[in-house]
Amino acid sequence: MILVVNTGSSSIKVAIFDDALQQRLSGAADGIGAAAGGLKVGEVTREAQFANHVAALQAVLEQLEAQGFPVSRLRATAHRVVHGGARLTEPVRIDDAVVAEIARCNPLAPLHNPHNLAAINALRDLAPDLAHFASFDTAFHATNPPVATTYAVPPAITERGIRRYGFHGISYASLTRALPGIAGGTLPRRVLAFHLGNGASLCAIRDGRSVATTMGYSPLSGLTMGTRTGDIDGNAVLRMAEEDGIDAAARLLNHESGLTGLSGVGPDMRTLLGDSSPEAAFAVDHFCYWARRHAGSMIAAMEGVDALAFTGGIGENATTVRARIMEGLEWTGLVPDANAAGAARLHAPGSSVGAWVVPAAEERMIAADAAALLDADA
């Protein structure tokens, strides 16, 4: 059994996978550090208060044991870590050197890495005899060429770590692994992948490797997102920081913009599609327009396209959004056909470009990474 751990600032999500990579149990602890929180593992749900991540993990492990999954049954724990920087570019077994390197990446992902690291350190203390592994959201994009990752700034700035990294890499790695089975053949040579959710990005995948992606130094750039702006001119950011202050500008760009800022309603695409206001309609238009526009850039980066693949909450479920994106890409030779909820194939039989829905399976991918490293060690 492998325990997969996905840690946020105030929550910890877990899943148990068996040796066949089938999920056996899932759960979450939330409200960490707050006055009130909750614990849900399998069918058990209760209110709880967690002073910190260590207390939350202890509660999760106790409930896992109560449901037949004690630490003694685990082969390993496997953690999602948002940022691996320029050095951690593949899944790794965690040791003190890896912990130190993740900590060095904290300035690159201050809202994520410190919390990922808190769970890693806590579990290493709580279960010191277990093997511990990490998979990185940035790692899949390490194959991008330097011309794609380097900003046009002096080398001294690049050496400070200011460059494009890209994110959602675990999702794209999972998509690349799953698509051949869904499509019934080998992986298409040039895949344009859409990870569409509250956070959204595109990835150009050529011969199974990322060659370009829309997110950059942080998850802020690229597409219109649930609360993030997507691409915005740097001088506009400087003006907002000067007039409103850095903290206010950062809050606006990351938490008050995107679909939320445009609509005044919120980030949920289902709500927006059911809202008759012109603001909600414009927010959806904006999302679809920038997805199509960035798609052209990704297609240029891999010099053509053989297949589209949609994943994430919006990508898998918002048929209207998928249809509008595909309609804007018919010039590629794509002939859209079935687009009903639950349909895997989205293209007509004669289409020269395929289009598919690929269910998100990031936790399974993290478990697979850990299993592969365990097998290699053996």
Catalytic positions: 137
Find out whether 315 and 198 touch, Cβ atoms under 8 Å. no
Cβ burial of 69 (10 Å; 0-12, 13-18, 19+) is buried
The b-or-e profile of 286-322 (16+ CB within 10 A means b, else e) is: bbbebbeebbeebbebbeebbbbbbbbbbbbbbbebb
Rounded to a whole number of angstroms, the CA Rg of the chain reads: 21
Backbone angles phi, psi at 318, to 5 degrees: -90, 85
DSSP 3-state of 208: coil
Cβ atoms of residues 7 and 118 within 8 Å: yes
Tokens of 219: 């998850």
Q: Amino acid letter at 162?
A: I
Residue 156 to residue 119: CA distance in whole angstroms: 34
| Spatial separation of the C-alpha atoms in residues 60 and 110, rounded to whole Å | 25
Reduce the DSSP state of residue 245 to 3 states and report it. coil
